[in-house]
Amino acid sequence: MPTVRATLLFGVLGVLAFVLAHPLMWGVTEPPQFPGWDVTRVFWADLVFAREAVAAGELPLWNPHDRTGYPFFAEPQSGMFDPVTWLLVLVALVVGSVPAWMMTVKALAFYGIAASGVAAFLRERLGRVDWAVAVGVLAFVLSPRMDKLKDQSALWPTAWVGWLLLAVDRCMRRPTPRRGLWLGAAASMTVISGYPPGAFRLALLAIPYAVALVVQAVRGSEDPRAYLRELARACIAAAMVLAVLTAGQIWSTSQVLPATERAALELADILASRTRPAHAANVFVPAIEITPLMMYVGFACALGLMASLWRSSTEDFALVLVGVFGFTLACGEHATLLPRLAKVPGFSAFRIAGHYLVLPVTVLALVGPIGLARLAERTRLMPRWPPIVVVGVGLLAFGVFSEQPSPMTVVLVVATAALVLAAAFMDRSIWKRRLGWMIVPVVALDLFVASRPTAKILQPLPDPARGRTMAEAIERSPYFRIADFEWAGNRVGPREGVRDLVGHRPALTDRRYTMLYEAAPMWVSLLQGANVSVVGFPKRAPSPKGDRLEPFAGARGLYRVPNPWPLAFWTRDVAVVPSPEFALAWLQARRQPGAIVEEKTIDTATAERLRSVADVHGDPVAPRLLEQSLHRLVFEIDAPADGLFVVLEGHDPGWRATVDDEPAVVLRTNLIFRGVEVPKGSHRVTLSYDPPGVRALWWLWLLGMLGLCALAVDELRRARAKRGGGSPP
């Protein structure tokens, strides 16, 4: 049984091992290095935005500063239903800002969760065989596949795999409603921690493991019906917790999903991977290629895997099969399995097949130490030839795949091979256990060498002065936005409240936005029609069609956009077109503010009304902006006739509109913006963002988290009472 103290100690061990393996993260370089890629470009700014919204007394439901605005809660990677994210938000509120080092803290927190979860699972299965537990923790945390967790949300759910399998193990072996609650909690963490494909892949691991445990329990039970009744009660409790904690994320994401790029993934996106079947040899030794390298764990775990299969239990065999299945999926187009599954829900929803490598890495890190512990406790568990095969294949793979290996790599490979063979051929368990502790640092060093290419994915922070320069270029005007095509790092860090046409474009980005984004650098009219007044390019501007961009004084690569359209306007220049492609062509040709609505987004009556008010000779009228906040815009407009009121901020079904306090329909206008029909006269137009059900589901999530905290306190009280010799109440 894992204890809280031991679990925390192994969590600390995992974090320290990771920090020691990444010396660049110590801040000793000049300038200091931070996790790069998505962390720098996206997640830091997300945390800043969440903190600023809460400090202003609002839930961060809508982010108006990115991609013309998007539903912040609906993007799973923003982590708005993740307790780790909210803990960081609370810390940021106390600190008063979100320094970049907080993203390093977030990454290390997930490594601590991963290490402690693996330790808890292995101690549940092995007891106090701490050297084997340490091997598993290091093999998981230091594997090059998990190394990417520090800068990609793709692997954040994977940090919970140990806790998920521990909950499955306990609940399936001895089901109770209380254990079902913890199973639901562990499953929920994989869903809400940031990246839905990660949860799907862990389900591929957890479900077969659960089924194997149930089959084994039914076969060994004296009363199978009683066991199945208790299992049903536990599963109902798990499902209830899962529904409470994940309903908000699932509901809000599902509302925007149909219009996004995720809904139209190509087969090539799903199969994309550099992994090939021959890369399976990298289970044993480090190689040069980064993609196969990301699954390397080493001789020790490979031998342990073989030992666990020798007279294996049903559940361990199920895990190994999932590992093989995951590796085959990771081969993408280089194997036949994933193309055949590409039309199955789940397999067809997530791109980058290489992410399935997390399954074999996890299996090696969890099952390998179990087999090693069995080898240490038994003298004749298997014949003598399997260890020779493991080491022989590893050395052969090393000779074939490693080009110009360093002396340290050669020494580590030889040392690991010698230790593994010695441990396998010794008959005295006490000496095997001592060799086990010797294997721990060798595995750590071996993985340290293997993960060098991915360990170096760190970056200094971009120059914040460039971002401020762009913010000051429009003098923080609430009426215009910028378009930063990587001039200041493509939305790096907080945007200081400035609205940006450009942003990170995950798979949940609106497809129409992608059309506009890709065409905008070549068409000044599109920049004007998107309310952009200043645009930046990393080196020099392309040659856009139409009016030329005006160089911005003193800032190379920064340009003014002539005659940008205002944030909002009333117009009778309305057109109803059949498709987004027609809408894009119309916007490219337009020089004055106007409105275009796609026919398939409105009903017949609305289309007829819009056609009846169309008058290309009517001049646009600018409104008065009375109020502007994250979730609310209030305008006053004097409309000379019936027409369409256009707001150049992102459209979303969660936006509601009133005209003089009377409800009005918000139309998708100009591809991605909002439009409201306004009759002749003076009117007050209010737009507010309040997606139905999201606030209620957020409060439901909060109550669920508080309930779990109360359950955790009760568990600790029961454990303390049990250790003290009493019986828990």
Tens-digit pLDDT profile for residues 48-60: 899 999 998 989 9
Q: Is the pLDDT of residue 582 over 70?
A: yes
Assess contact for 277 and 267: CB atoms under 8 A.
Answer: no
pLDDT at residue 113, rounded to an integer: 95
Buried b (16+ CB within 10 A) or exposed e, 558-575: bbbbeebbbbbbbbbbbb
Q: Two tokens at 698?
A: 């957020």
pLDDT at residue 30, rounded to an integer: 76
Q: Give the residue-averaged pLDDT of 177-202.
A: 92
pLDDT band at 387 (very low <50, low <70, confident <90, very high): confident
61-75, 463-477, 480-494 — most confident range: 61-75
Distance CA 232, CA 251 (A): 26
Q: Is the pLDDT of residue 667 over 90?
A: yes
pLDDT band at 284 (very low <50, low <70, confident <90, very high): confident
Q: Two tokens at 555?
A: 């800032």
Q: Give the residue-averaged pLDDT of 22-35.
A: 76
Report pLDDT digits (tens) over 612-642.
888 777 789 999 999 988 899 999 999 999 9
pLDDT at residue 493, rounded to an integer: 56
**How many CA atoms, within 13 angstroms, populate the side-chain half-sphere of residue 110?**
30
Q: Two tokens at 368?
A: 């390998």
Report pLDDT digits (tens) over 93-106.
999 988 888 888 88
pLDDT at residue 274, rounded to an integer: 82
pLDDT at residue 380, rounded to an integer: 56
Distance CA 95, CA 531 (A): 35
pLDDT at residue 499, rounded to an integer: 86
The residue ranking higher by pLDDT, 516 or 494, is 516
Distance CA 492, CA 40 (A): 6
Query: Burial level of 377, CB count in 10 A (0-12/13-18/19+)?
Result: middle
644: part of which helix (H) or strand (E)?
strand 643-650
Assess contact for 259 and 373: CB atoms under 8 A.
Answer: no
Tell me which long-range contacts 92-99 makes (C-beta under 8 A, separation of at least 24): 92/47, 92/48, 92/51, 93/51, 93/54, 93/55, 97/51, 98/44, 98/47, 98/48, 98/51, 98/494
pLDDT band at 684 (very low <50, low <70, confident <90, very high): very high
Q: Is the pLDDT of residue 521 over 70?
A: yes
End-to-end CA distance of the chain: 20
The residue ranking higher by pLDDT, 462 or 183, is 183
Q: Give the residue-averaged pLDDT of 305-312.
A: 72
Q: What is the mean pLDDT of the chain?
A: 86
pTM above 0.85, yes or no: yes
Kindly report the number of other CB atoms within 10 A of residue 186's CB atom: 25
Check whether the bond before 663 is cis (ω within 30° of 0). no
pLDDT at residue 15, rounded to an integer: 92
